[in-house]
Each structure stands twice: as C-alpha cells, then as structure tokens.
Amino acid sequence: MKLTRRSFLKVAGVAATVAGMPLTAKGAENFKTHKPYTEGGIAPVPDRVVTSGCIWCQNGCSMKVHVQGGRIVNIYGNPDDPVTGGKLCPKGQNNVNVLYNKYRLKAPLKRIGERGSSSSYKEISWEQALTEIADKLKAVKEKYGPESLAWWVAGRSESQARSGLSGTFQKLYGTPHREGTGPFCNFAGGAASNSIMGHNNPPWTYTREDFGGADFYMFVGSNMAAAKPVMFGVVNDERIKRKAKLVVVDPRMSEAASRADVWLPIKPSTDMALALSMIYHIIEKNLQNQEFIDNKVLGFDKLKAFLIEKKYTPEWAEKITGISAKTIKELAEEYAKTEKAIIMGNAGLSHHTNSMLTHRAFYMLAAITGHFGKPSMGYGCGNNGGTSMGSISVPKEKEVKPKKQRLGKSPVAWVEPMITGKPYPIKAFMSMGNPFVMWPDQERIRKALDNLDVSVYFSVFPSVETTYFDYVLPSSPWTESGGVGPVSDERRFAFNPQIIQPLHQARPERWTIIDLGKKMGWGDIFKDEYKDPVKLQKAMSKKTGFSPERFFAKKEGALRGPLPTPDAPEIGTLYTEKHGVPGKKGQFPRPSGKIEIWTEALEKAFMAQGLNPFEFYADPEIGMKDGLPYLEYIDDDASEGVTSQLIGKMRARRVKVKYPAGPEITGFDMYLTTGRPSASQFHAGTHWVWNLNEQMPDQYCMIHPDKAMEIGISNGDKVKIEGIKGHVLAKAWVYEGIRKDTIFVPHGYSAEQPFTQWKSINFITNKDKRCPISDQTNYKALICRVSKA
C-alpha cells in the first residue's frame, strides 16, 4: 500500500481505535487485573544491574536485568554484546512478566479425580510429590523395564537441568527415551548437516562481520523477522546500508518477506524441488566451483548423474513449486556467481516428511558452488542444537544400558506404545513442554495418559496439561532459577545468575531433578551442592571450556562452543581451513574429511529405509491431492521397524516412494501451512503473558482475498478449517500476500489459555506422517477446506 498523507492518518486512526477496542478476553481479564509491575508509574532507577541471558529463542540475546529493592523492574538489551548490540525483542523484555505473573503455578498438585478438570487436583507437599513419583518410577522399572520411562525435556528451562542433569538421571535409570524439542523444531537441519558436513551447527556466527556481511541472502522457510528478530534486524540494517539482496521463499509474505527484494510464494512441501532444480541449472551452465568440488566434495558425479536421469530441470520444478523456470534459473545463476551468499533454512523446511533430504539438497547447492570455508557464506538451518558443555559423570558400574531399542527420535513416537503397548509399553511419562498444544494429532494424544502408571508435568503456568497429568510440579523460570540459557543458532550459551529467590513454592527444575534423584537412591551423584547453578556448572564443565569463570569474564556473559577443552579458544566461523570444527578432525569432519554429498555408506543407510538420498517426494497429503510422489509407510509406531544408520541407534521406519498415477483424494481444495504467529509468541508459554498475548491474541487464518470472496467471508469473520483429521476455528485475516490456494494458521493457541481461547490447529496435523530419517512431523503441508463458521 502506498502510504500517502491521507492514508497515514487512516493508519494512525486504526492505532487509536485498536487502543480503545474491547479485547476478546474472558471474564474479568482486562487492564484492571493486568497492570504492569510498576503499577502505572515509570520504571524506577535500578540499584543493581545484572547481566543475564534470554530464555526464549535461539537468538540467545544477552540482557541487562534492572533490579530495585530485590525486585526485577525492567530488562534492557546488553549494549556490550557483540551479537545483539543491546537490542531486545518483546519476548526478552517480557521475561519480567513471566516471573511476576498471577497465573503461575504455586504448589505441587496431585490428581485425585477424573482427567480434564482442574478441580480434580489437590495441593500436596514437595516431599510427598517426589516420594510418590520416585516410588512409582521404581515400580515401573521393576515391572516393565527401564525402557518404559519417557521424558520430554522440552520447555524453556535452563540447559543444566534440561540437557545436563536429566541426562545423568537417564543413565542411572536406563531408559533410551529422553528427548528435547529438536524433533518439533529443527532437528532435521542438524541431522542433515551431520550427514554431509560432519557436524550439526551452521557455519556462521550472528555478527555483522559474518552473518551480517553477505551480499546475497536467500531465506527458505525462514521467517527470521519473527523467529529471531534481533538478528533479522541486523541483516535488514546491513541490507539497506550495503544494498545487499534479500530473497525470501515462503508461501506467504511473512514479516521477513515484506522486507525482501524478491518474494517467491512457493507451494508448501516443494522446497526440495527448488534446490534440486537450481543445482541442475548450475551444472548445466557449468557454474559449479569445480576446484572446490575436486578438492573438498565427495559424490558430485553421482548427484549430477541422478539429476540428469530424473530430469530435475527448472521446467520440472516450475510445475511442482509454482515458481517460474526463468526465476529459478536467474536465482541459481546469481547465487552461483555471488561469493558472499548465504542461504538460511528453518522450520519451513524441517516440518515436512522430506525435511532431511530438503536440508541436504540445500547443503549440496552451497557445496557445489564452493560456499563454505569463509565468513558470510554457506547454508545452515536455525536451531540446530548446541555443543557439549560437559555433564555430571556416572560411574560405569552404576550406568544402566537399555536392552530394548529406542522407539523413534520424536517423542510423538511414544504415543502408540503408550496406548497400545506395542512394540513394548511405555508406562511412565514426564514432560517439561506443552504436548497438549504443540504435538500433532491432539485428539489421539489426549488418550495417551490413560494407560500410564505415572505421568508428571513440570510447568510455570496452569496450561491444559495441568488438568490431565497425575502430578504437576511448579517450575521456577529464568533468574529465579539461574543456570544456562538455551543455546543460540550460532552456538552461544549465556549464563544466568540466580537474581531473586523462587516465588511461591515453585522450584528450579535443577532442584527438582536433584531431589528426585535422591529419592531414587542416587544421592551420591545428585549432590545438594549442585542446586547452586555456579557449583553445578563448575562440576559439569571440568573437561570443557564452559566454566563459570569463563562465563563471568565475558561482558556479554556468554560463551560460544565448541570448547572441547578448558582453555580452548572461542572460534567464529566454522568449516574454515584453519579451524574446521574445534575438537573434531579436519575442515569437514566426515570420515573422508570432505563434504559428503554421496558415499556408498550413505546411500546404504538411506536405502535401508527405502530412500534414495537425491530423490524428490512431497508430503503425503500434497502428493495425494496433486498426484506428486509421496511416502507410503511400511512401519508404524507400534512396530519394530529397522535401526537407523543416520541419526543414532534407534527404531527407524521403512518407507516406499509412491508415484501416483494422478490425484487420489478430492474434497480438499486448499493447502494448510502452520507456524509462528508473530515475534511476540513462542508456542504456548507466551500466551500466559498479557503483553505478549495482546500483540497477537487470536488464532488467525491468513487467506487470500479471492478465496475469501469465493466463500463469502470478510476480514475478522470466524472461519472453519476442516482437514483430514478434524476441524478448528480461526479468525479470518484477509491478506493479499499469500498464495491463492494456501491458508496459514499459527500454532501455540489453545482453548485453555487465559486471555483468548482457540482450539489448537494441531487437532488437524497428523502425528503418523513424519520424516523417516529425522522423525520430524509434517506441520507445514496439509490439505483442507475453509468455510464461514
């Protein structure tokens, strides 16, 4: 829209109306009950400013916490942080409203009635809760074997507890089933990177010299403006200053796409075809970096032969992706010819059944054009995990090795074993995240707890899970807890000092795991002194460089891994000739020391599950609707399957790529894709914080004006979205910047949140359709029909 003087006033008028509009809040939830902690006055001048790190996203921002009279009164960015330069998004700032929040869980709860109601719970003491939980965990181990405990160590809890202590607990108990958020996030990116580069992390750091310094950016399935606002702010600033080019590939004009020079509205599920056809064109035009390939890449000829055999041309890709062959060719040529060129992928690529192969295709594209080895280039995906900080060691004689094969990478793979007992039962479940909002197949997931002997939920807020699980344990967030924040995309951890005492009866998860470990009879390992985050960090980091002293010596309070030894220096760009990956051998730490596009061993590993490492297929619902190749699953979650050779020893599912003769399903005319609603939200948790919820309060349905007109809906109308699995409602956002055949509905909303209530879009997503290699769920390419509700 051209913003004229007149239309600007209209916009300003909207601001005024929005400010005065009644909110869609239930009951008495209005401004009178949600005043900021400053009670309507200006923030006081702090008597103490403490350096801390944000708990939310993988931007990993360093923060300055303002404390006055023992209370946290404001949060600013840390101007001494070389990555963020003192900038901070709404989530980082709202950490303060997470602490002082009237909804917080205040005491441990035990279920004494039917599931599904908060009145079925009574408050109990920590002593009683942990004693009973430990007794039940021991009984499950005795009766069903240690493999029957599953623990989802998700959430935004600090890393010492989440990845450190829970791992120690796992080794002592003997279960293979402990998993973080990766399989719902971007595990596929790291797995693809491991399989081709020999290490999970992207090459770059989020500094202006590295990620900020490219001349060409291509974001594929990455709305970085909402996912990592502070880093996107730097990219956008550099783009304007240096006239760098930004291309965004996304079915909708996201916030990031709205800043781009070129927006390519690709059909959901087909990004792999785009990458393969770009490679095809580069090879055809002989624009590959042959010297780089000869010296540093294995398997180029195999790739070339396969693409030619399959005729993965730009013209082929045009029919699949909806992006014209001409555009694909121009894009490929510009990318190949620009040295400082970055391609960034994210959840838009990971949340598909072809996630592993799609990420690999983009790695191949970067590799054959020589885009690795220097700053400001390469391919990488966000949220690809951390590097080892160390752990509390367990004496060999005490470690219990699981006897049964782990059932899949994704925690969703635990659901059928919980319900059906096959191939063997899971009988105890502990969760630190929001499975009843964020997992696919919500209807089925709700049945999973019924057959369990014990279920335990760790939480800050009384989310829907607190009316289903047997025990609810209140967690202390962030500065109440202290500890290490989640790792950033670019391998940084920030240390958070404990600044205030835990409020109510909530406890840091670190304490809870230590006390539970003691009740299990492992008091010699789970020592009380480890409740102090500094002492625990000291003990954990004996062999690595993540010591408290090193954290505290940094102005930004953060360290970048890998730091394989106590005095290992922090390294910037990875995969350079000089540094490679610290602690690993060679520039590209694959067995060959080269980037492995194809090897015999890799092909065998893919073939064992029925896949060819170069072959394109779409997500099942898309394939069935449009007659594109898609996966048929030979194994389901209740079967033994085979053992994965690509992501660690665990059950993997076999598949077959099916080439349908034509469309196989009718009655669904639209594609459905899901994702983050805006920068203010991080899944379910942020909806419990008034200032974050009010920034994007409603589950919306972004829909093109032509489609809206066809079904007779206007902006703001309630619409019904019906998928194969079920239906949900959403508020129509009639928006020109989306494909006419696609709607976008954000995730993270639920019917049990305090300010606005929406049945989660995950009642439509399907838990059984997952990437056979990475085990990631397809959240982003489904089919549906839309009507006026």
Partner 1 sequence: MVDLERCIGCKSCETACKLENGIPMGRYRTKVVWVNPQKGGKLLFVSSPCMHCGKPACKQACPTGAIYKRPEDGVVLIDKSKCIGCRYCAWACPYGAMGFDEDKMVADKCTYCAHRLARGEEPACVTKCPGHALKFGKASELTANARSEGRWIKNIDVGTKPSTVYLERIKP
Does position 50 interact with partner 1 (CB under 8 A)? The reply is: no
> Which part of the chain contacts partner 1 (CB under 8 A), choosing from 16-24, 276-284, 462-470, 542-550?
16-24
> Which part of the chain contacts partner 1 (CB under 8 A), choosing from 19-27, 377-385, 518-526, 776-784?
19-27
Does position 466 interact with partner 1 (CB under 8 A)? The reply is: no
User: Using CB atoms within 10 A of its CB, is residue 141 exposed (0-12), middle (13-18) or buried (19+)?
Assistant: buried
Contacting residue, 496, 541, 680, 765, with partner 1 by CB under 8 A: 680
Query: Are 383 and 676 in contact, with CB atoms under 8 Å apart?
Result: no
**Residues of this chain, 731-750, that bind partner 1 according to CB under 8 A:** 734-737
Does position 35 interact with partner 1 (CB under 8 A)? The reply is: yes
Supply the DSSP string of 602-643, one letter for each residue.
HHHHHHTTT--TT---B-HHHHHHHT--EEEES--TTS--EE
Query: Positive or negative, the Cα torsion across 368, 372, 373, 376?
Result: positive
Tokens at 691, concatenated: 């200032």
3 state DSSP class of 217 = strand
The Cα–Cα gap between 558 and 550 comes to 9
Tokens at 132, concatenated: 């009973």
Q: Is the CB of 11 or the CB of 729 nearer to partner 1?
A: 11
User: Min. distance of Cβ 258 from partner 1 in angstroms?
Assistant: 4
Residue 281 amino acid letter: H
Sole residue written with tokens 């782990």: 406
Q: Is the CB of 236 or the CB of 760 nearer to partner 1?
A: 236
Supply the DSSP string of 427-461, one letter for each residue.
-EEEESS-HHHHSS-HHHHTTTTTT-SEEEEEESS
Contacting residue, 197, 246, 253, 328, with partner 1 by CB under 8 A: 253
Contacting residue, 68, 71, 80, 90, with partner 1 by CB under 8 A: 90
Q: Is the CB of 257 or the CB of 452 nearer to partner 1?
A: 257
Residue 141 amino acid letter: K
**Residues of this chain, 608-647, that bind partner 1 according to CB under 8 A:** none
Binding mask 92-111 for partner 1 (x = CB under 8 A): -xx-x---------------
User: Min. distance of Cβ 698 from partner 1 in angstroms?
Assistant: 13
Pick from 108, 107, 78, 129: nearest CA to 519: 129
Give the CA radius of gyration of the chain.
Answer: 25
Pick from 614, 615, 646: nearest CA to 630: 615
Contacting residue, 451, 576, 643, 691, with partner 1 by CB under 8 A: 691
Does position 327 interact with partner 1 (CB under 8 A)? The reply is: no
Does position 248 interact with partner 1 (CB under 8 A)? The reply is: no
User: Min. distance of Cβ 717 from partner 1 in angstroms?
Assistant: 15
The Cα–Cα gap between 368 and 595 comes to 10
Contacting residue, 24, 26, 31, 591, with partner 1 by CB under 8 A: 31
Contacting residue, 47, 127, 135, 261, with partner 1 by CB under 8 A: 261
Query: Positive or negative, the Cα torsion across 647, 438, 231, 333?
Result: positive
Does position 521 interact with partner 1 (CB under 8 A)? The reply is: no
Q: Is the CB of 120 or the CB of 327 nearer to partner 1?
A: 327
Q: Is the CB of 90 or the CB of 145 nearer to partner 1?
A: 90
Tokens at 565, concatenated: 């030894």
Does position 226 interact with partner 1 (CB under 8 A)? The reply is: yes
User: Min. distance of Cβ 281 from partner 1 in angstroms?
Assistant: 25
The Cα–Cα gap between 144 and 119 comes to 32
Does position 13 interact with partner 1 (CB under 8 A)? The reply is: yes
User: Min. distance of Cβ 379 from partner 1 in angstroms?
Assistant: 23
The Cα–Cα gap between 714 and 731 comes to 10
Does position 290 interact with partner 1 (CB under 8 A)? The reply is: no
User: Min. distance of Cβ 776 from partner 1 in angstroms?
Assistant: 27
**Residues of this chain, 60-89, that bind partner 1 according to CB under 8 A:** 74-77, 86-89
Does position 233 interact with partner 1 (CB under 8 A)? The reply is: yes
- Determine the distance from the C-alpha atom of residue 582 to the mean position of all C-alpha atoms in its chain, rounded to a whole number: 25
CB atoms within 10 A of CB 179: 23
**Residues of this chain, 337-366, that bind partner 1 according to CB under 8 A:** none
